[in-house]
Amino acid sequence: MAAIFIHLSDIHFGQEKDGGWFKTNTDAKERLMTDAQSELKARGVSASGIIVTGDIAYSAKPEEYVAAGAWLDKLAEGVGCDRDSIQLVPGNHDIDRAAITPALAWKIESIRKEGDTLLDAFLDEKNDRESLFTRFAAYRDFAEGYGCDLDSRGEFSADHAVELAPGRSLRFIRLNSALICSKRDEEGSLILGARQRVIPEVGGEEVVVLMHHPLHWFMDTVEARKYIENRARVVISGHEHFPSLHVSAVEADCDLMMLAAGATAPDDVDEKYTYKYNILEFDWDQHLDALAVTINPRTWDDDHKRFSKDLEFLEGGQGRHTLASPNFRRGRPPVSKVITPSGDAPKVNAIVNPISGTGKAEIDINARDRALRLRFFRDLNEAQRLKILIDLADLPPDVSRKLDHTLERAFFARILTKGRGDELTAAIEMALSKAGEKR
């Protein structure tokens, strides 16, 4: 059974400048949900997850993520996947530009001039490191709920995998391509950094890289490409609002797919740009011991005001690509494929559990605890979270200063390790109920 993902990019919640544009965009997003559900239902399958390659919001304001979360919840329900199987990476619109002070703007410009060396120096110092992440405040809360936390050390984030067959799995690695985005960014001015470029290599496991900006947006593109071409099998990006696909042979028996998405909600709809998303299917080709990727590109049919298959993008092909996969072959010998019952999507599982404290051992969490994580970080504001942590994590009641994300995660983990999950559930429900009464 193939693992199927709904792939979105550049959703831009909050971009609308007037009521008419809001109504039009909302209708397109509703039609997207209907289309995705219909496509999967026609095949009698459900999705393993949802992938969003950046620009969830338009101005990185909390209310934009509230709207995005409600919409993603409905989409997940419609395509039959768990809400915590949604994977996110940040884009340039997930940065709060108002948080870029003159001092921070100078720091970012200095990093761009000096490159990796200065970026590493800032990431090694806690205060300098955290100053880079002040721009991501609202996104950080939102992504944390899904277990897609931003690694504050500047490393890649990888904690999702899906098994296609025994001994053959995909590992999703998320890169923060917006790490040194500022108020204005030009192609070739960004840096991934050495800590994100070094992608692991494991036998039997092929890597799918998720990032917002395509590779040519970086100063360290040449070095990044060396790692990606030899360690990853698929790179999925967004940002440029127009889809493209390139499959190349890196060397004998080693292929790379570069898939750039169109915008789910572009800034403007015209002859070139319109609403787009993908349905991606990953499967193991048992005969070739290779990764097979099938793309069902969906584009807005303006004449009928609905989505349909983008035949122009497919260029007459069927959308299936079998990629020579050296990491599969480096694993244990191929095994017979296990057939998953019809309709049961392969599950997305955690590789590295994001619920952990500073320097502490990570803890295994069950489905209920993952749901609590989503509601705690995504649906509660900072004051609500602080009150719960004071009540349940043995914090002193006079704590008034803002807790950084690392501490919040550590104290959240403390509540779970003490077996106080039921109390946490009740506290979250109470906080949300009180917030609803005030509205």
**What CATH number does the domain containing 334 carry?**
3.60.21.10
The arrangement of strands across the sheet holding 244-251 comes to 244-251, 254-260, 234-237, 205-210, 168-174, 157-165, 348-349
Tens-digit pLDDT profile for residues 350-389: 554 444 443 444 445 667 788 888 999 999 988 899 889 8
200 CB neighbour count, 10 Å cutoff: 12
Q: Contact, 227 vs 198, CB < 8 A? A: yes
Domain identity same for 213 and 253? yes
**Helix, strand, coil share of the chain (percent; to 5):** 40, 20, 40
Q: Contact, 328 vs 206, CB < 8 A? A: yes
Residue 354 in any domain: the answer is: no
Residue 355 in any domain: the answer is: no
Q: Which whole number is the average pLDDT over 18-46?
A: 94
Q: Enter the tokens of residue 146.
A: 């899904």
Residue 75 in any domain: the answer is: yes
> CA separation (Å) from 298 to 39, 279, 346?
10, 7, 23
The predicted pLDDT at position 268 comes to: 83
Domain identity same for 307 and 372? no
Percentage of the chain with pLDDT > 70? 91
111 pLDDT more than 80 = yes
Q: Contact, 352 vs 362, CB < 8 A? A: yes
Domain identity same for 304 and 389? no
Domain identity same for 341 and 376? no
Q: Which whole number is the average pLDDT over 135-152?
A: 88
Q: Which whole number is the average pLDDT over 27-44?
A: 96
Domain final residue, candidates 349, 381, 408? 349
Domain identity same for 297 and 411? no
Domain identity same for 373 and 234? no
Residue 356 in any domain: the answer is: no
124 pLDDT more than 80 = yes
Q: Which whole number is the average pLDDT over 387-406?
A: 77
Q: Which whole number is the average pLDDT over 59-68?
A: 95
Domain final residue, candidates 349, 377, 394? 349
Residues 122-139 as b/e (b if ≥16 CB within 10 A, e otherwise) read bbeeeeeeebbbebbbbb
Domain identity same for 332 and 377? no
Q: Contact, 12 vs 61, CB < 8 A? A: no
Residues in the chain: 439
Domain final residue, candidates 295, 320, 349? 349
Backbone angles phi, psi at 248, to 5 degrees: -135, 155
Percentage of the chain with pLDDT > 90? 61
Domain identity same for 169 and 119? yes
Residue 395 in any domain: the answer is: yes
Find where tokens 């609905």 sit: 306
Residue 70, domain extent: 3-349
Q: Is 373 exposed, middle or buried (0-12, 13-18, 19+ CB in 10 A)?
A: buried
57 pLDDT more than 70 = yes
Q: Contact, 83 vs 50, CB < 8 A? A: no
Three-class secondary structure of residue 32 per DSSP: helix
Tens-digit pLDDT profile for residues 182-215: 988 999 999 999 888 888 889 999 999 999 999 9
Q: Say which residues have a Cβ less than 8 Å from residue 6's Cβ, sequence separation at least 6.
A: 36, 47, 49, 50, 51, 75, 79, 277, 278, 279, 280
Q: Comparing 100-109, 132-141, 298-307, 363-372, which segment has the lowest mean pLDDT? A: 363-372
pLDDT band at 147 (very low <50, low <70, confident <90, very high): confident
Residue 61 in any domain: the answer is: yes
Q: How many domains does the chain have?
A: 2
Domain identity same for 338 and 385? no
Amino acid at 366: N
The predicted pLDDT at position 360 comes to: 41
Domain identity same for 68 and 135? yes
Domain identity same for 336 and 434? no
Q: Which whole number is the average pLDDT over 79-92?
A: 92
Sign of CA dihedral 435, 90, 411, 348: positive
Q: Comparing 1-5, 26-30, 88-92, 350-354, which segment has the lowest mean pLDDT? A: 350-354
Residue 263 in any domain: the answer is: yes
Residue 42 in any domain: the answer is: yes
Tens-digit pLDDT profile for residues 258-306: 999 999 999 888 888 999 999 999 999 999 999 999 999 999 999 999 9
Q: Comparing 153-167, 209-223, 355-369, which segment has the lowest mean pLDDT? A: 355-369
Domain identity same for 59 and 186? yes
